Amino acid sequence: MGDGLMIQEGSSVKATGEIAQIPVSEVYLGRVINALAKPIDGRGENSASESRLIESPAPGIISRRSVYEPLQTGLIAIDSMIPIGRGQRELIIGDRQTGKTAVATDTILNQQGQNVICVYVAIGQKASSVAQVVTTFQERGAMEYTIVVAEMADSPATLQYLAPYTGAALAEYFMYRERHTLIIYDDLSKQAQAYRQMSLLLRRPPGREAYPGDVFYLHSRLLESAAKSSYQLSEGSMTALPIVETQSGDVSAYIPTNVISITDGQIFLSADLFNAGIRPAINVGISVSRVGSAAFFLVF
C-alpha cells in the first residue's frame, strides 16, 4: 500500500488477521486525507475511536427508500431540467477540460447551510489541481462540511484503486447516523486505469481495451452504496456524482457505457458548447435524470 522502496527480498511479512478498514469520525471534516485515511494536509494526525471496513455491503432493497428529496446543485440548467435527488447516482461525463470538476465543486459549494456532509475524492489528479480545489473550498467556507480524499497521479495504483472506497466508507458512516451526504468521484476513469494496471501486473487475462473482465463490478459495487435510507435504518442519504472522462466525445467507449448503465442518469458536458463560451457546457439533449419529477420541489 505504498511505494515499496523499503521492501526487500527476505523481509518478514505478518498478517493482521483483519479485513482492511479505516478510522471514521467527524474529526475528518475539514481535512485532506489519503486512501488509508491518513491526513496529508500537514495539520497533524486525527484521533478516531471508531473504524469501518473500506468496503462494506451495499444497503439491500428493504433498507432503501425511493428518492423523493431534491439535492440542489445551484446550477439552473441542472436543477430545472436534470434534477438530482438525495440518494441518487448521477454521472457527470465529458471530454477533458469541459468543466466536469467545476460542476462537481459548485455542487459542493451550494450545500453550505443545507446540513449536507460532502466527500470529494480526487483520483490520479495533479497535486496542483487538488490544491486549487481545496483552496476554493477554504476560501468559500466549504471545508467545514467537506472531507477531501486525494491520491495524486504519482501515487501507487493500489492507492488510486482504494481511494473511492475510502471516500464511500466515510460517507456511509455519516449516512447511517441520519446525515445527508454527497460524494464526488473525480474521476472513475483513472480508477479503472489503475485497476487495469494492477490486473496486468497480476497476469490476469485482459479483455476489451485491456481492462480485466470484472471492471464492471469494480464500479457497480462502489456506486451501489449510494442510497436513501429507509425509516427503519436511518433518515440519512448518500448521493453519488461520479465523473468519467471521454475521448473525443465518445460515450460508447467501454468505461463510459459501463458507468452509464449503473447510474440513474448522466450530465453530458460538450466540448463544442464549452468552446462556444456556454458554461456550464451541458448538452441537455443527451443528458437525463431517471428520477425525474421526484427530485423537484413542489410549488403551489
Write out the catalytic residue numbers: 290
CA-CA distance, 229 to 180, in Å (whole number)? 10
Q: Identify how many contiguous H helices and E strands the chain contains and give both numbers.
A: 8, 11
CA-CA distance, 220 to 86, in Å (whole number)? 19
CB distance 164 to 188 below 8 Å: yes
Element (H, E) at 102: helix 100-109
Query: Rg (Cα) of the chain, in Å, rounded?
Result: 19
Cβ atoms within 10 Å of 201's Cβ, excluding its own? 9
* Nearest to 62, CA basis, from 230, 174, 264, 235: 230
CB distance 227 to 237 below 8 Å: yes
